[in-house]
Structure formats: structure tokens, C-alpha cells
Amino acid sequence: MGAGTCLAIAAGRLVAWGARTFQLGGGTALPGLVALAVRPMLLQELAERLPHGTIVVAGTNGKTTTARLIAELLHGSGYSVVHNRSGSNLPRGIASAFLERAALSGRLAGEIAVVEVDEFALPTVVRALAPRVLVLLNLFRDQLDRYGELETIARTWQNALQTLPAESLLVVNADDPVLTALTSRAGARRWTFGLDDPAIALPTLPHAADWRLCPQCSSELRYERVLLGHLGAYRCASCGFARPSSDVAGRAIRSVVPLRIEVTTDGRAFVLESRLAGVYNAYNLLAAATTGLALGLDPDRLAEQLARVEAAFGRQERVTVDSRELTLLLVKNPTGFNEAIRLLLAAGQHPPTLILVNDLDADGRDVSWLWDVDFELLTGLAAPVSAGGIRSGELALRLQYAGIEPAGRYSGVVEALDRWVATLPPGGRGWILATYTATLELRRELARRGLAPSFWEQ
């Protein structure tokens, strides 16, 4: 370990200490940014010190939850885990997570790392970390003004896969045709997972489905079964491209709490249970389990560990405000929003719902994606729906076009929270669906008021 490395660690840790001491925010990105400026190779150098390597998790939706599931799984299996738990998923955020565990000598207090990574940062991170396992969850349309079109991200990932070491393992969602095509010729050993349950299939491909053409020959893809967005059992009539059989298959899925999946792999069967809800979390759970199996963990012990994991920040998190019990759901893109609505309807509680939409950089400044969300399904919710956030007007108009007259329209996030909560009966329940920065603002305010959040339970 050279002097430059020690200097970079010292600089990063000093910044982290300063940020904490002077309360300049969480310090999840700046320490890494400074340390990488001092020593661009720092991530490589620290990752090489991990005896059990790094697990990298990528995907449009579910990466925070899945990385958390895998980290808890490994922690429960006795490993000391480095993890960018805050969801800060650019190289600087990942470096910050490593710095937290690095001594000035360069020694790392950790045996294995679990890292979630931003879609565009994947090539850089794969090159730096040379991951032992790369988990690919899904690719959906997300913040077009920031990420561009889906094909652009797919090309970025293609580049990342080319630098993946041959001895790495790939854990891939077989239900996503884009990922199947991307990884079909990769050198690394591929573990595929998928959901095999016609009972939870959607009647048709949703409007927001992103991939309707065969990724190999551009003919129309035929779906035998659609499970979520463009995920499902697909086949191209013209070139024969089709969903591969999955190494780890989930069946008989119960998507409300307690979530339950029967898993079969290599002639063995076991059951996964979780306090997380929704079909999207069934995918996250199966991805984590597949990663565990790929690492050689025992299925039953793995299931036991996964059952204990609680929701990540703002994802099905439950808080009490003025005696009202609120459940927070993060919504970032059409497919994720559709799944939140699906969960809302499946939960069958029909509480009043507040939707908060911001259009800051981290949310995507373009709100046209709201028109691709199937708000029409919310007419099945026997409860009032209100709109808030910076773009509450756009949202209210969208709701009206969906046949839902908004019960209230509030500007801002905190103001919306207080005025909406006041309309709920004391002791009553409510759901809040919020975009990324609205969730952050909400969480900051709840923390300021000392409302220690209790997690989702039922």
C-alpha cells in the first residue's frame, strides 16, 4: 500500500469526520469524492484486499432492497460486510462506504463487499471492483432526461460485461429479455432466476412495458405470461430467441405480507418468506437467494436469514404521525409506480392515499412519465387520493384524466404531509407514494420531529 493510498484514505476520512462533526449532511458521497480525487485507483486497491471479493448489484428497480438482502444474508452467515447501505451508488458513494471500514494503513475491516451501483456507473465500477458476482435485476425506462433511452443503458451494460473477469459469476433475471440477450454470450458462468407462476400474471403487457421487440432481430416478442412490466415468459416467433429455463425458479407466490415463494433449484425445494410485499419484492428476494446459492450457502439457512430482513429506507416503511399510521412507498418510474398501485390494491386495506411528485434533478425533471402510469387502476381503490409535491398540478390533472377527482391538492411536501394528515381520522391509516426527493424531504422532516420510524409489519 503506497503513501498515495494512505493519503487518500486520510483525506476521505477527514472529510467524513468533518461532515459528521459539523452536521453537513450524511457524508455519503463527499468523502469518497475527495479520496478518489487524491487517488483514482483507490477503489481497486481497497477491493483487492477483500478475501471474499465483491458482489455488485445493478438494475433500474430493486437494487437498494436486493443489496440490503444480500448484505444481511452474508452478515447472518458470519461475514464482515462492506456495504453502501445509504443507497449512494456512484463510485464516490461506493468509495465512501469502503473508507468507513478502512484504516489509515490501508487495512480494511471487512471480508466481502456488497455494492449497489447506478446504471451508468456500471462499467467504471465493474472495471474497478472486478466483482466476484454481478447481479443484474432488470432494465426499465427511468428518468429519460437523465439516463436517456433504454438502448443507451443496454449498450453501457454491454461494455461493462466485456470487462467482467471470466471467473466471475453472473446472477441474471431470466424474465427480462434485455438481460437475457445481454448475457447470453458472456464468458462468466450464468445463474438465472425467474418467477414461474401463472396465478400472479397480468392480463396483458402494461402500457409502460418497455421492451416489445426482440432484442436480437427486432420482430415482435410474444409473451406467454407477463409478470411485471416487460418481465415474463417471452419468445420471438421469428428468430427463436426465448426465455431460458431458470436455474432458480419461484412458484406459488403470495405477494402480500407475509410474502411467500416456493423455490426449486437443481432438484431441491425450499420456501422463502419475507415481511416485504409485492411481486417486485418477490423478484428481489429471489435474486438475493440465487446469489446466496451461487456463493454456496445452504438453502434452508439462507431462507432463515432472508426472512428477518426489514424494508430499506422509504420502501414500505411505516411511520406514525399524530396517531395516524402511514406507510411510505418510493415511486421512481412507470413500472415501479404500477407495482406500487398493484400492491395498494392487493393489500386490500383501501386507506386514503397521498401522492407526492417532485421534479428535481434526482427525480428526473421530466414528469411526462406520470402519463404512462396506470392511474386508471386506482379507481378500484375505495378511498380518496390526494396530490402534493412540486408537480402536484400535473399529477392532479393526470388523476382527473384517469377518472379520479383529487380529494386535495397541496403544494410542497411537508405542507402536503401536515394538511393531508389532518384530514385523516385519529388512529387511522394512510399510504404515501412519493418520488425520490419527496421521500428524502419527508424522511428528513420526520427525523427532525423525532418520529423514529418503525418498519413495515402486519
Partner 1 sequence: MRLRIGWLYARTMNIYGDRGNVLALVERCRRRGIAAEVVELGVGDPLEPGRYDLFFWGGGQDREQIAAAHDLRGAKGEALRAEVERGVPILAVCGGYQLLGHFYRPHDGPELPGLGIFDAWTVAGERRMIGNVVVDSPAFGELVGFENHSGRTYLGPGTEPLGFVRIGHGNNGEDGTEGCRYRNAIGTYLHGPVLPKNPQLADFLVAAALRLRGWEGELPPLDDELAAVAHAEAVARARDQERAQRRRWFRRP
Among 212, 222, 268, 308, binds partner 1 (CB under 8 A): 212
R_g of the chain, CA atoms, integer Å: 22
138 with 229: CB under 8 angstroms?
Answer: yes
Shortest spacing between CB 179 and partner 1, in angstroms = 17
Residue 443 found at the interface with partner 1 (CB under 8 A): no
Q: Of residues 403-432, which lie at the interface with partner 1 (CB under 8 A)?
A: 409
Residue 179 parent element (H or E): helix 177-183
Shortest spacing between CB 437 and partner 1, in angstroms = 14
Euclidean distance between CA atoms 315 and 340, whole angstroms: 10
Grid cell in block for residue 369: 412519465
Residue 393 found at the interface with partner 1 (CB under 8 A): yes
**Neighbouring C-beta atoms of residue 435, cutoff 10 Å:** 29
69 with 302: CB under 8 angstroms?
Answer: no
**Count of chain residues binding partner 1 (CB under 8 A):** 32
* Sign of the alpha-carbon dihedral angle for 82, 76, 251, 336: negative
The active-site residue, picked from 366, 372, 374, 418, is 366
Alpha-helix residue ranges (DSSP H) falling in 188-294:
279-294
Which amino acid belongs to residue 242?
A
431 with 327: CB under 8 angstroms?
Answer: yes
Question: Applying CB under 8 A, which part among 89-97, 176-184, 210-218, 247-255 lies near partner 1?
Answer: 210-218
User: Burial letters for 246-273: b for 16+ Cβ neighbours within 10 Å, e otherwise?
Assistant: bbbbbeebbbebebbbbbebeeeebebb
Grid cell in block for residue 265: 433449484
Residue 339 found at the interface with partner 1 (CB under 8 A): no
Residue 401 found at the interface with partner 1 (CB under 8 A): yes
Task: Name the one residue in this structure whose C-alpha cell is 396465478.
Answer: 199
Residue 98 found at the interface with partner 1 (CB under 8 A): no
Residue 341 found at the interface with partner 1 (CB under 8 A): no
Residue 441 found at the interface with partner 1 (CB under 8 A): no
Residue 390 found at the interface with partner 1 (CB under 8 A): yes
Among 120, 313, 371, 455, binds partner 1 (CB under 8 A): 371
Residue 444 found at the interface with partner 1 (CB under 8 A): no
Task: Name the one residue in this structure whose C-alpha cell is 400474471.
Answer: 201
Shortest spacing between CB 371 and partner 1, in angstroms = 3
Residues contacting 23, CB < 8 A, separation 6+: none
Residue 322 found at the interface with partner 1 (CB under 8 A): no
Residue 142 found at the interface with partner 1 (CB under 8 A): no
Among 67, 126, 134, 370, binds partner 1 (CB under 8 A): 370
The contact pattern for partner 1, residues 34-63, with x = CB under 8 A and - = no contact, is ------------------------------
Residue 368 found at the interface with partner 1 (CB under 8 A): yes
Which amino acid belongs to residue 17?
W
Residue 201 found at the interface with partner 1 (CB under 8 A): no
**For 119, which DSSP code?**
G
CB-nearer residue toward partner 1: 98 or 140: 140
Alpha-helix residue ranges (DSSP H) falling in 164-320:
177-183, 279-294, 299-307
Residue 213 found at the interface with partner 1 (CB under 8 A): yes
Shortest spacing between CB 397 and partner 1, in angstroms = 4
Residue 400 found at the interface with partner 1 (CB under 8 A): yes
- Told to judge if 366 belongs to the known catalytic residues of this protein, a careful annotator would answer yes
Grid cell in block for residue 388: 402534493
Residues contacting 421, CB < 8 A, separation 6+: 321, 322, 324, 326, 430
**Neighbouring C-beta atoms of residue 180, cutoff 10 Å:** 23
Residue 141 found at the interface with partner 1 (CB under 8 A): yes
Residue 365 found at the interface with partner 1 (CB under 8 A): yes
CB-nearer residue toward partner 1: 208 or 231: 208
- Binding site residues, partner 1, CB under 8 A: 141, 144-145, 148-151, 207, 210, 212-213, 218, 359, 365-372, 390-394, 396-398, 400-401, 409
Q: Catalytic residue numbers? A: 366
